Amino acid sequence: MVADRSGFPRLLATNGKEAVDTYVSFDKQRRQDNQSTGRIPTRRPDVILLDLNMPIMDGYEAAQQIRQFEKREGISRSVIVAITGLGDDIARAKAYRHGFNHFMSKPVRPQQLTDMLGSIIETKKRSREAEAVA
């Protein structure tokens, strides 16, 4: 997995509902070892990668529910990235309407994903540092 090879801490969900539940109950989840890697994030994820065609709840609905939760709780928004086999303009527009920030069509090159994650995380880090100074 790209996150492991690149040193990014991660949580794993196998379907859209699990992704939403994990995000919503993050404070409890982070105390549990989601994977035996021991590399669980210490704060709410900066980036969420979602496939649009997940079982139980698709990525569109998952993103929409995550955005509703963030708004309701008054927490800062995570960056949500669609990684999907769908590459048409309709899927892309629908993803943005449902709260996605970025859209990547498969196959995604590992370096492309690593670069994007690094850029997003660095931007979030600078933003948190600026808020701490203010």
pTM (global) more than 0.75: yes
List the structure tokens of 134: 């203010």
Q: Tell which wins on pLDDT, 30 or 57.
A: 57
Q: What is the dihedral of CA 126, 25, 16, 78, to 10 degrees?
A: -10
Instruction: Give mean pLDDT, residues 57-74.
Output: 95
Q: Please tell me the predicted confidence (pLDDT) of residue 27.
A: 59
- Residue range 2-133, CATH number: 3.40.50.2300
Instruction: Give mean pLDDT, residues 9-35.
Output: 76
pLDDT, tens only, 32-51: 544 444 555 567 788 999 99
Instruction: Give mean pLDDT, residues 80-96.
Output: 93
Between CA 112 and CA 6 the distance in angstroms is: 12
The vertex-119 CA angle with 108 and 79, nearest 5°, equals 75
Q: Please tell me the predicted confidence (pLDDT) of residue 82.
A: 96
